[in-house]
Every structure is written in C-alpha cells, then in structure tokens.
A and B are shown apart, each in its own frame.
Chain A
Amino acid sequence: MQESDATLLADFGGPASLEVHRDVMALYHALARAGIEGVKNLHPAYCTLLVVYDPLRWAPQDLIFKLQEAAGSAAVATTPPRQIDVPMCCEAEFAPDLAPIAASAGWTIQTAVERLAAATYHVAFLGFAPGFPYLLGLPPKLAAPRLARPRVRVPAGSLAIAGAQAGIYPAETPGGWRLVGRTPLRLFEPAREPMSLLLPGDEVRFTIIDQRRFEELARA
C-alpha cells in the first residue's frame, strides 16, 4: 500500500502478536539483505513495515515488484533470536510509578518486581528515539495508561510502561510512560559497534540489581 509518494506500507493486520511480528521481521530481513538501490529506510513495527524510497529512482509499481522479488527469494529466517540480559534496578528512587501499578494489580511491590523479572520480552522494534525498544511480553496485570501530564525529564535507562507496552528510554528526554525501573547500561551509542544494545527480534530478560550494583555498573 502506498503511504505517501515516497513510502510503501506493508500491513500484516492486527492485533499485535508475536506471530504477526515474525512475518514483519522476515520481510524486514529479506529487504535489508537485498540492499535495493533507492530504498532509503526500513521501519519495522508491530504489524507493519514502512519502506522509504527515493521517488526519483522508483515508480511505486516497479518498486513493489522488486520488493516482492526480494521477499520471495529470501529463505525463512531460522536463526534463533539473540538473548540479552539487562540489569534492572527497581528501587523506589528509580521506579516512581511502580507502587501504584503494583497496588492496582493487587500485588506487593516485591511481587510486581518478581513478575517483571520472570517475563521474557520481545523487541518488536526501535522507535520514538534512537535505540528505544518497544517490548512485547509485559505481564498483563502490570499494564498501565500513559501519564496525563508527561514528565519534562525522564532519566536515561528508565524502564517504562504505556498500556501493554514496555520500553526503555535510551537518553534523557521528556516522556509520558510510567517508570518502573532503571538500567545502568547505555542503550545507544553511535560510536559503538553495535550502536544499539537491542535490535528488533531480540529476546530480553531483566536481572534485578540493587542500587549499589547499579552504581558499580554505571561507572564501568
């Protein structure tokens, strides 16, 4: 489908699920590997892949043909997802919204933290800011709406919840998601290889750490 005169949108249909997202990522990897000239950006998301192209290079019908060719020739991705452990500190100072979220789930804070740590998260895509992962897999009872008034400053590394989504802020920005933890890891550094700690398709688990360990890792 044409989204604009310089983008095509492959829409796999909702609602968001791991199965639909696998299809999105299979197409994304096929097109990324094909390296088609004049394709300027690929944006995978929950149920869609947006292809940004140079409209001087491609008429849309020719590009669609080329994309279908690339998608058809790609072997189905069989590589297992990368497993990434992310240290996470959920002490009160780093998790200002955790207590009310735990309360509305009918849990103690400790139970909420245990459930956060027991879940496996799937990086659906990176968006909002460089290296910001949109995570599927939040325990449903921890789902919470966005803040009515976004915070002016959300610290880098904050683990955050918006509806059924979880995410981690790579850098200090304003933000309206609810904060339930913080990691000392740097999620995005342009000069590092790989520059983004997390990539679409990764599986993430949180290892709970205390504030002292957080400070140690932050200094490392």
Chain B
Amino acid sequence: MTLIEVQAPGMQTTVQDLGRWGFGQLGVSACGAADAMALRIGNRVIGNPDRAAALEMTLLGGRFLFRGDAWLALVGADFAATLDGVPVPLWTPFQAAAGQSLRLGGARAGARSYLCVRGGIEAPEILGSRSTHLPSRIGGFAGRALRKGDLLPIGDPPPALPPLEIRPGVLAQLRPASAVLRITAAAHSASFPDSSRAALLAESWGVQTDSSRMGLRLSGAALAAPLGGSMTTAGAPLGAIQVPPSGEPVILFVDHQTTGGYPIIGCVISADHWRIGQLRPRQTVRFELVSFDDARRLLLAQEELLRAEILGL
C-alpha cells in the first residue's frame, strides 16, 4: 500500500470527505470539506468517487513525501505547489513518483486547498465518514490535524477512467470571484428589528482572525437582538448567521454544533457554501438577500453546470 509521509503539516491540515450525515440527533456534527465543490471536482479528475477522502489545507500548505507512485490533483485555492521544485498545475491530474516531495506554500488567494489522491486517503470510516471533526476529535487521522511524521495510507486506486480536461472558462463560471454571500431569510428573521436586518445587508463585514471551521466571526456593526428576548436552543443549519449578545454575527460553518441558542437572522445559500470555505481572515464580505426560489434556482444551475462539464463526463 502506498504511503504519504507528512514532512510538514501546514497550518491546519485534516482528512475530509463529504461529511458525516445521519447522526445529528446524537449531537454529531456533519463536518466534511469546507469547499465541497472543489473536493468533488478534485476527486472526479483523478477518477475517485465524489465521497473519497482528501487532505484539506488551510492558508498554509504542507510538505508531503510519496513512498510510492500516486496520481494527484490539487484543487481549491492556489498554494503555489511544487513537486521536487517544479510547479504543478491546479484542477489537473499529475503523477508523483516514489520518493518525490510535494511542497505547498501559503494561499495566494482564497483559504483552502485539497490534495486529492487517486484511491483516496485511507482513514477508518467512523459513522459512515472519514471526515475529521476537530472539536470532538472524531474521524480522520486519529481525530486530529496532521503532524510531522504521520504516515497516511492511500486506498486502492479505482479502475482507469478516461482523462478529463476541464474546458477553459468553466471554473470561472462555476466559481466566479465575488465578495458577496447570498442569503435567505431564516424562520425567525422577522423577530429582529428592521434596523438589524437593514444593517446586515448594508454593512461590509470583516472576517475575524479567530474564525474556524466551526464558525466565522464577523466584525462591522453590532446588530440589535430580536424583540421579545432570547430564543430556546434549537437545531441550527450550516450557513446560519447567528447573532450572539455581542451583536457581532457568526456564520455557522462545517464543524458547527448541531444545536444553538442564539437567534438566526439569515442563512447563506447552499450554492455559496464553498465560498465561505475560501474566505480569508480580515477579508470583507457583504450579504445579499435572495428568495428561496432564487436560492434553489442558483443551486440547480450550479449543479447542472458541474455535471455537464465535469462530474457527468
């Protein structure tokens, strides 16, 4: 079995797949890739199933020695990767020979890069997923971020698939640069004062540096809490924008707790979840309100383009 040796782990590198679903009633977070769209594309270009596990790197990438030949794809943000000193392309399969070392630098734009390996990262499946949930130390590689010296086995490679070239322009169409996150109203948005809802859409919000896969803390303005006091703890969705007593909103992200007690003013639409995963600390974002019909139309259009150009080939 081919092994990957972690020579340098990067800032926070974890094993992730498409998440741990079906155990929310036990308090188990879904976790999974912060930019699931990138992971799906990366798996597809090297012939893996969508749900194969990959290494998710954040802001600063790692250095990996291959102890056997492997087909790889790097997707997501550009971390200036080199294989034995030679730059490697993004979104395109390439081969590493035994003894070669892949080195990633810092993210030039965006925040997360995925190293997809043909055959997938072979971590034990826990509750149906190989994803790492750092807060509860479940899944992935011993429930933690990678460290120097870790040895990661690669799974059996799937049968050969025809090589896939993504047509130029498709990625720009799927992943347009934008500083806007689109949101829908939440079930109890109307309990917030009008001034809070207006400020949410009018302000530019800065991503605070203590943001994580659990949540992104935003600074910009203090939003007034709902009229009529606090709400009781309830299940909270991925992408929910919670307003704690400080008034500074928090976007619940992939590692978020399954329930929350703070009121939710809106939720980022599914078509923009990948974009949350690529936000950098100190970057600013704005919110744009769309209808539920538009949110669904945008997601279906995104998926149709993905299937037509990449996944369906």
Contact = CB atoms under 8 A, between A and B. Distances in A.
Interface of A: 1-7, 9, 11, 14-16, 28, 32, 40-50, 52, 55-56, 59-60, 125-132, 134, 171, 173, 188, 190, 195-196, 199-200
A14 B191 CA distance: 15
Contacts of B30: 40-41, 52
B303 A43 contact: no
B289 interface: no
A43 B235 contact: yes
A171 B303 CA distance: 39
Interface centre among A11, A129, A173 (most CB of B within 10 A): A129
B27 A126 contact: yes
Nearest to A15: B232
Nearest to B294: A5
Interface in B247-275: 257-259, 264, 267-270
Interface centre among B138, B258, B269 (most CB of A within 10 A): B258
B264 A59 contact: no
Nearest to B30: A41
Contacts of A128: 27, 257-259
Given A4-B184, A50-B234, A127 B258 contact: yes
A193 B111 CA distance: 38
Nearest to A11: B187
B300 interface: yes
A125 B236 CA distance: 13
13 contacts: A3-B237, A4-B269, A5-B295, A6-B238, A9-B235, A28-B25, A40-B22, A43-B24, A60-B292, A60-B296, A128-B257, A171-B137, A196-B26
Contacts of A4: 184, 186, 237-240, 267-270
A42 B264 CA distance: 18
Contact of B303 (A56, A125, A126, A200): A56
Contacts of B97: none
Contacts of B138: 130, 190
A55 to B, nearest CB: 6
A53 B183 CA distance: 17
A13 B303 CA distance: 36
B28 interface: yes
Contact of B232 (A14, A129, A132): A14
Given A50-B234, A55-B270, A127-B235, 12 more contacts: A4-B186, A4-B237, A5-B270, A6-B270, A14-B232, A46-B233, A56-B300, A128-B27, A130-B138, A131-B26, A134-B259, A200-B25
